[in-house]
Amino acid sequence: MRILDELDDRSQRLEDEQRRLEGQKTELESSSDQAEEARKQTVEKEQQLGVLAGTVAAEGPGISLTIDDPSRSVEADKLLDTIQELRAAGAEAIQVNDVRVVANTYLSDVRGGVEIDGKRVAQPFRFKVIGKPEDLEPALNIPGGVVQTLEKEQATVSVTRQEKIVVDALRKAERPDYARSSSQ
């Protein structure tokens, strides 16, 4: 009788231990799934921020825009207006010739041409723009808009919608000298 009671007690303890271990297993699997999801979201966010910062290449639908200016009358301010109009229309990534345009991009007139972020940009100006083509192209062609303004400067402008644009000019990721994350 005593042996049977001990076996019942032992059996009960083993069943309790089994339930506890199964609970731990489920918890570990769940936390592993959460960690994997967090890793996946982190990589995705890193890619999104890299596109915005210009440190990674991007591809997607968009437009190609070519400004040919034989008279050299198109100056930095007109190219800046073009960039601003594209951004306002939803451009997510912009490249002009071999220069990636980002939030702190600057344009300046130099003797006989234009510099973007300190790099001389030769004619014709070729824009690769990722965004919704149905929004970008009409934004440039509105009456009194970018295309008409550039054509008044004797420039030839062509805008083409494309299913796949590759923006592959990259910016070097630079660490700030003084700013640090406040979450550290």
User: Which residue in the block uniquely carries the two structure tokens 């003797």?
Assistant: 111
Cβ 122 vs Cβ 113: under 8 Å: yes
In angstroms, rounded to a whole number, what is the distance separating the alpha carbons of residues 176 and 173? 10
Q: Token digits for 133?
A: 């083509």
Contacts of 112 (CB under 8 A, 6+ apart): 72
Residue 1, CB-side half-sphere exposure with 13 Å CA sphere: 0
pLDDT band of 184, cuts 50, 70, 90: low
Q: Token digits for 52?
A: 């915005």
pLDDT tens-digit readout, 118-132 = 999 999 999 999 999
Q: What is the pLDDT of residue 157?
A: 96
For 35-111, where are the E strands, in sequence order? Answer: 58-68, 93-96, 99-101, 107-110
pLDDT cut 90: percent of the chain above it: 57
pLDDT mean over 3-22:
80
85-115: b (≥16 Cβ within 10 Å) or e: bbbebebbbbbbbebbbeeebebeeeeebbe
Rg, C-alpha atoms of the chain: 29
Contacts of 170 (CB under 8 A, 6+ apart): 54, 55, 56, 57, 100
Q: Which fold has domain 58-167?
A: Alpha-Beta Plaits (3.30.70)
Helix (H, G, I), strand (E, B), or coil: what is residue 54? Answer: coil
Burial of 37 (0-12, 13-18, 19+ CB in 10 A): exposed
pTM of the entire structure? Answer: 0.76
pLDDT mean over 79-90:
96
Residue 114 Cα distances to 56, 69, 70, 90, angstroms: 25, 12, 14, 25
